[in-house]
């Protein structure tokens, strides 16, 4: 009984006397539950200018990233298969669908599989409306149909590789996920109401009032003619009135403070909407010229983008695992999909180039123009500058010079060691390593056959002899380096 209790869920909704409607778990969203509406209510909020622009701004944080397949410890042929498979899919569009999950709590997507001739791959991945799906008391996703209003259980083996379900901060108590649009609903409603009253207020107090005076004993026809004359005067600026009638103008000069109340309401609603979606108000509250406030805003935004990126990567990783399992069977290691910003690549490349420069590599001007997009002719490359001697903390220039001389001697010894490797031995080992590849190319009938067999042959190459030779060389070089470091 103790073992059974460890592996069995005790706290169940069915045991807690939870009430269900047709076996469906009610949507716990407080706004929808109070209003008696469904999730389509939130989709209408995207037409609001502030909501729509903030959503696009947030999603662009991931959509603007580059992506690559991280092979990890998976097999090379599987990594190549995954790379080719993803290259045939509309990554930006599908990623944009996945990014709806933070807005609506979840985003069901259906995978349509097809054959590329030799493998089974996703032909399309389509995002589906959230209102088509519900959860049951076991938190199983169900698809509501005309014939089955309670929904088809999509967790059965029949649909094992069909439906993706990225969710935003979902829990056992709330499998529908947290909805950001739920947080901005009332702000949009209040803003729309405030805008309507503000327009009415502007029409009422934005221009002077005209009062027409009709003479005593005027008939209804004369009063109507006076009213029509005033309306024409307001609209066209030109009007005629019967003799004896008069017009007075009433200026409203105390309405400015009241008008500001509407403006403050609208601004407050927009700022709270930005905080809910972006994590900060953006340019609304950041003080111009104060770098600190801008940095703080960007820091929060970067954290939210990183959360969205992980959600997208997890969804794509699920697609990769399914495709690999279908075509190759279950694996110990799977390739992964990684999204990264372009500036991260630039920083990594700059650090690499610096390390190469420190060991003596010199680049041409064309390299900096192509790699870092620097304007041509706006910089110079000094390839004649000697490498600086490493500074020795707390010692004088003579010690630095001595250290440089010792380093040169060590480098000379290492160079001599490398030159001492017999070229004939290295040539023989390389020929033995590449012989299976050369023989395969000679027997192949087409380039496609070479590409296919090369991917299969590469993991089987025997580089034992070459590896042993290089290990000995590296061991000698490391031993020499430790010895000279100890002597210093």
Range with the lowest mean pLDDT among 70-84, 321-335, 377-391? 377-391
Most confident range (mean pLDDT) of 315-324, 381-390, 392-401, 475-484 is 315-324
3-state secondary structure the chain: CHHHHHHCCCCCCCCCCCCCECCECCCCCHHHHHHCCCCHHHHHHHHCHHHHHHHHHHHHHHHCCEEEEECCCCCHHHHHHHHHHHHCCCHHHHHHHHCCHHHHCECCEEEEEEECCCCEEEEEEEECCHHHEEEECCCCEEECCCCCCCCEECCCHHHCCCEECCECCCCCCCCCCCCHHHHHHHHHHHHHHHHHHHHHHHHHHCCCEEEEECCCCCCHHHHHHHHHHHHHHHHHCCCCCCCCCEEEEECCCCCHHHHHHHHHHHHHHHHHHHHHHHCCCHHHCCCCCCHHHHHHHHHHHHHHHHHHHHHHHHHHHHHHHHHHHHHHCCCCCCCEEEEECHHHHHHHHHHHHHHHHHCCCCCCHHHHHHHHCCCCCCCCCCCCCCCCCCCCCCCCHHHHHHHHHHHHHHHHHHHHHHHCCCHHHHHHHHHHHHHHHHHHHHHCCCHHHHHHHHHHHHHHCCCHHHHHHHHHHHHHHHHHHHHHHHHC
Question: pLDDT tens-digit profile of 249-300?
Answer: 555 555 556 667 778 888 888 889 988 998 877 544 444 444 444 444 444 5
- Given a cut of 60, is residue 420 above it in pLDDT? no
What pLDDT sits at residue 84?
Answer: 95
pLDDT bracket for residue 206 (50, 70, 90) = low
Question: pLDDT tens-digit profile of 19-68?
Answer: 565 678 888 899 998 888 889 999 999 999 999 999 999 999 999 999 99
Q: Mean pLDDT throughout 397-422?
A: 51
pTM recorded for the entire structure: 0.63
């Amino acid at each position: 009984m103790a073992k059974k209790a460890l592996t069995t869920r005790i706290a169940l909704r069915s045991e807690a006397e939870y009430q269900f409607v047709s076996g469906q778990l009610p949507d716990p969203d407080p706004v929808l539950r109070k209003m008696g509406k469904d999730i389509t209510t939130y989709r209408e909020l995207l037409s609001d200018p502030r909501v729509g622009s903030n959503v696009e701004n947030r999603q662009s944080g991931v959509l603007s990233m580059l992506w690559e397949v991280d092979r990890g410890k998976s097999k090379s042929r599987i990594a190549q298969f995954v790379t080719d498979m993803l290259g045939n899919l509309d990554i930006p569009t599908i990623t944009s669908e996945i990014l709806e999950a933070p807005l609506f709590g979840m985003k069901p997507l259906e995978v349509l599989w097809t054959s590329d001739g030799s493998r089974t791959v996703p032909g399309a991945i389509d995002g589906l409306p959230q209102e088509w799906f519900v959860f049951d008391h076991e938190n199983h996703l169900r698809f509501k149909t005309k014939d089955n209003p309670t929904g088809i259980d999509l967790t059965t083996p029949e649909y094992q590789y069909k439906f993706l379900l990225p969710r935003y901060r979902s829990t056992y108590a709330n499998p529908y996920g947290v909805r950001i649009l739920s947080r901005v609903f009332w702000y949009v409603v209040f803003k729309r109401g405030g805008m309507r009253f503000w327009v009415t207020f502007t029409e009422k107090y934005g221009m002077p009032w005209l009062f027409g005076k009709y003479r005593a004993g005027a008939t209804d026809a004369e009063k109507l003619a006076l009213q029509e004359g005033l309306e024409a005067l307001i609209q066209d600026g030109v009007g005629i009135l019967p003799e004896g009638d008069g017009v007075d103008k009433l200026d409203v000069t105390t309405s400015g403070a009241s008008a500001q109340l509407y403006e403050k309401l609208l601004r407050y609603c927009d700022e709270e909407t930005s905080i809910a979606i972006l994590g900060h108000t953006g340019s609304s509250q950041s003080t111009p010229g104060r770098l600190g406030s801008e940095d703080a805003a960007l820091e929060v935004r970067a954290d939210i983008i990183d959360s969205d990126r992980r959600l997208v990567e997890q969804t794509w990783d699920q697609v990769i695992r399914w495709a690999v399992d279908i075509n190759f069977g279950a694996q110990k290691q799977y390739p992964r999909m990684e999204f990264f910003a372009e500036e991260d690549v630039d920083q990594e490349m700059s650090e690499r180039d610096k390390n190469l420069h420190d060991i003596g590599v010199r680049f041409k001007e064309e390299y900096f123009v192509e790699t870092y997009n620097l304007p041509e002719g706006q910089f110079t490359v000094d390839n004649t500058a000697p490498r600086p001697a490493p500074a020795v903390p707390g010692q004088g220039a003579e010690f630095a010079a001595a250290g440089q001389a010792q380093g040169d001697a060590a480098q000379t010894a290492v160079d001599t060691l490398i030159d001492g490797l017999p070229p004939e031995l290295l040539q023989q080992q390389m020929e033995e390593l590449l012989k299976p590849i050369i023989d395969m190319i000679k027997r192949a009938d087409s380039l496609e056959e070479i590409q296919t067999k090369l991917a299969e042959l590469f993991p089987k190459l025997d580089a034992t002899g070459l590896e042993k030779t290089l290990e000995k060389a590296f061991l000698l070089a490391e031993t020499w380096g430790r010895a000279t470091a100890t002597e210093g």
